[in-house]
């Protein structure tokens, strides 16, 4: 259960902390006091969407934190989970579970098994026919999960093969045009006879040819200075040191070093002579190099940023040409693979169809039983299921599932979208919620004005059902109905006040006397002896609630 919910900077909520309890927690208050904002905070902590327009005035972020007691959870620490979410005006979004950062999608994945929020949006989900098959499969989750997992893997392969066949291989003329273009490109690249390293070598040779005169001049001067200045001088030094080398080891060492330097420089001088003698300007060779570089540049503009990319592109062209040339065999193999997958998918779809039909028997019975208890004894819920034998597969198989309802005796079954009454759709959704709550094991249920459009005996039935929920779940309920508020184990009053010319929301856990006054206010809009007496009747005749003081 949620033990503490802390909310900051959401709409008119400046900062509030709500200490919640087990059982049925009912939130009431005047319209616009902030009840829906509390539900929005619960949605945010579950990974729901949030618009930055919801950030409180003069604030640059919103913050929600929930402490959840979950003794049997694998992710709980000391039997508790601390979930926080901060959303900033600049789009920054921080989600943490037990102090560890998680993504919004991970947060949503964790919280979907902890808190279930039911409000008007979920009614819209129920009206969307595409969701009906999901509800049905969740009802028999253990039976459908493995089958759907196998089917979805095959379905992805099936779609990929279809896309491949449809995308890559048009009519014969188109295929030939493609083949001609690819062959032209391949011939153009092959005729160039490219080498991966040649461009660098050609550029280097081009520079030498273009600067041959400058290179020759500098090599010649360098050679002359080595021969006539440096080597002659070193030869004189060697001659002088040779006359005294036998007088000291130090003299001999210096003589040997100078001699080694002399011979090393002599070798360099010889190399330099050969280099300068080999320098020549070959205009014909320069033209050849420039033409070759132009060819490479032209190919780079068409097929890649460098020679390696061009060669890789050539490999791709060869593969595509071979693929098109071998198209007939390729298509035969792909169609054979597609047929094998099709047969496997069809068999799984048949199994799913049988499992779903069995699930429908139980689901219809369970929901119709709940509808009777919710003052809709003449209403009948039915699941219309069709099987597409033409094998027009979709992500859920070959079934088309549609929830149908007949709200009165003698009426035909109609799609949910034809239900005019908001009260009826709310009760139907509640019936479905009751049935699924026995399966999904989600410990916390939040109802946001589920009683909209309901009054009289139907309201009493709905309140009983919500109370029944609270025996096995922590229930947080926003309501405008006195009969629902009367069933609460804990009543909270949300109000807004003007403080320093600013509207602020506050929340208060009501004691017994204040609870009676609030039930009286909801019942008649005024608090007097008659409404107080009625409120006590609602509160005391049904439950013996311990007073909160």
Statement: residue 123 has pLDDT above 70: no
- Note the pLDDT of residue 547: 41
**Lowest-confidence region among 45-59, 110-124, 179-193:** 110-124
- Note the pLDDT of residue 138: 86
What are the strands of the beta sheet with 490-499, ordered from one edge? 115-118, 444-448, 474-478, 24-29, 490-499, 502-509
- Note the pLDDT of residue 235: 85
Tell me which residue of 468, 496, 466 sits closest to 479, measured CA to CA. Answer: 466
Q: Is the distance from CB of 468 to CB of 374 less than 8 angstroms?
A: no
- Note the pLDDT of residue 420: 54
Binning pLDDT at 50, 70 and 90, where does residue 488 land? very high
Look at 29 and 540; give whichever has higher pLDDT: 29
Binning pLDDT at 50, 70 and 90, where does residue 120 land? low
- Note the pLDDT of residue 155: 96
Residue 441 has which token pair? Answer: 């094991």
Percent of the chain with pLDDT over 70: 94
Statement: residue 3 has pLDDT above 90: yes
Q: Tell me the average pLDDT across 170-196.
A: 85
Interval 153-164: pLDDT, tens: 999 999 999 888
- Note the pLDDT of residue 101: 94
Statement: residue 6 has pLDDT above 50: yes
Q: Tell me the average pLDDT across 115-131.
A: 74
The model carries a pTM of 0.62
Q: Whole-angstrom Cα distance, residue 392 to residue 398?
A: 7
Q: Is the distance from CB of 433 to CB of 105 less than 8 angstroms?
A: no
Interval 194-253: pLDDT, tens: 888 888 888 887 888 888 778 878 888 888 888 888 888 888 888 888 888 888 888 889
Interval 290-319: pLDDT, tens: 888 888 888 988 888 888 999 999 999 998
Binning pLDDT at 50, 70 and 90, where does residue 360 land? very high
- Note the pLDDT of residue 227: 83
Statement: residue 20 has pLDDT above 50: yes
- Note the pLDDT of residue 541: 60
Q: Whole-angstrom Cα distance, residue 13 to residue 5?
A: 13
- Note the pLDDT of residue 119: 67
Domain spans, the chain: 1-114+442-549, 175-325
Tell me which residue of 486, 492, 463, 491 sits closest to 539, measured CA to CA. Answer: 486
Binning pLDDT at 50, 70 and 90, where does residue 402 land? very high
CA atoms within 13 A on the CB side of 538: 28
Residues in the chain: 549
Q: Whole-angstrom Cα distance, residue 10 to residue 41?
A: 8
Torsion angle (degrees, nearest 10) of CA 116, 118, 122, 123 = 150
Enter the CATH code of domain 1-114+442-549: 3.40.50.300
Q: CA-CA distances (angstroms) from residue 393 to 166, 349, 388, 400, 420?
A: 17, 9, 8, 11, 33
Q: Tell me the average pLDDT across 257-282.
A: 84
Binning pLDDT at 50, 70 and 90, where does residue 548 land? very low
Statement: residue 542 has pLDDT above 60: no
**Lowest-confidence region among 167-171, 187-191, 229-233:** 167-171
Q: CA-CA distances (angstroms) from residue 363 to 241, 396, 435?
A: 113, 19, 8
Q: Whole-angstrom Cα distance, residue 96 to residue 92?
A: 13
Statement: residue 452 has pLDDT above 60: yes
Q: Tell me the average pLDDT across 57-73.
A: 90
Look at 192 and 51; give whichever has higher pLDDT: 192
- Note the pLDDT of residue 328: 73
Binning pLDDT at 50, 70 and 90, where does residue 476 land? very high
Q: Tell me the average pLDDT across 389-402.
A: 94
Q: Tell me the average pLDDT across 83-95.
A: 91
């Amino acid at each position: 259960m949620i033990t503490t919910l802390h909310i900051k900077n959401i709409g008119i909520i400046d900062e509030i902390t709500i200490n919640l309890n087990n059982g049925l927690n009912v939130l009431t208050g005047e319209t616009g006091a902030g009840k829906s904002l509390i539900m929005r905070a619960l949605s945010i902590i579950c990974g729901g969407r949030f618009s930055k327009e919801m950030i409180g005035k003069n604030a640059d972020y919103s913050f929600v934190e929930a402490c959840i007691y979950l003794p049997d959870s694998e992710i709980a620490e000391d039997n508790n989970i601390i979930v926080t979410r901060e959303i900033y005006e600049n789009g920054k979004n921080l989600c943490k579970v037990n102090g560890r950062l998680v993504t919004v999608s991970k947060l949503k994945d964790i919280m979907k098994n902890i808190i279930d929020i039911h409000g008007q949006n979920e009614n819209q989900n129920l009206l969307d026919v595409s969701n009906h098959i999901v509800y049905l499969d969740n009802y028999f989750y253990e039976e459908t999960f493995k089958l759907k997992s196998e089917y979805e893997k095959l379905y992805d392969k099936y779609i990929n093969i279809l896309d491949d066949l449809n995308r890559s291989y048009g009519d014969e003329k188109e295929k030939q045009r493609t083949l001609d273009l690819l062959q032209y490109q391949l011939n153009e690249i092959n005729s160039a006879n490219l080498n991966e390293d040649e461009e660098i070598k050609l550029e280097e040779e081009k520079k030498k040819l273009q600067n041959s005169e400058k290179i020759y001049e500098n090599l010649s001067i360098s050679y002359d200075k080595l021969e006539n200045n440096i080597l002659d001088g070193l030869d004189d030094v060697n001659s002088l040191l040779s006359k005294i080398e036998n007088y000291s080891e130090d003299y001999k060492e210096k003589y040997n070093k100078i001699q080694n330097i002399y011979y090393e420089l002599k070798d360099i001088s010889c190399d330099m002579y050969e280099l300068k003698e080999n320098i020549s300007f070959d205009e014909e060779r320069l033209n050849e190099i420039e033409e070759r570089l132009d060819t490479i540049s032209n190919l780079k503009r068409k097929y890649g940023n460098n020679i390696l990319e061009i060669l890789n592109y050539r490999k791709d062209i060869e593969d595509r040409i071979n693929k098109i040339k071998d198209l007939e065999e390729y298509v035969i193999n792909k169609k054979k693979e597609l047929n094998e997958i099709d047969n496997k998918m069809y068999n799984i779809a048949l199994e799913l169809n049988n499992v779903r039909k069995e699930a429908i028997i139980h689901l219809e019975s369970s929901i119709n039983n709940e509808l009777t208890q919710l003052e809709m004894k003449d209403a009948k819920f039915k699941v219309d299921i069709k099987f597409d034998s033409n094998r027009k597969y979709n992500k859920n198989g070959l079934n088309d599932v549609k929830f149908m309802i007949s709200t009165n005796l003698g009426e035909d079954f109609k799609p949910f979208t034809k239900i005019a009454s908001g009260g009826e759709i709310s009760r139907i959704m509640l019936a479905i919620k009751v049935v699924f709550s026995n399966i999904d094991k989600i410990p916390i249920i939040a109802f946001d004005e589920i009683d909209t459009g309901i009054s009289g005996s139907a309201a009493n039935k709905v309140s009983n059902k919500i109370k029944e929920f609270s025996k096995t779940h922590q229930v947080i309920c926003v309501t405008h109905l006195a009969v629902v508020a009367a069933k609460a184990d804990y009543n909270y009053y949300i109000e807004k006040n003007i403080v320093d010319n600013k509207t602020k929301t506050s929340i208060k856990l009501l004691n017994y006397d204040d609870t009676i006054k609030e039930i009286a206010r909801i019942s008649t809009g005024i608090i007097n002896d008659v409404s107080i007496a009625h409120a006590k009747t609602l509160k005391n005749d049904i439950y013996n609630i311990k007073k909160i003081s």
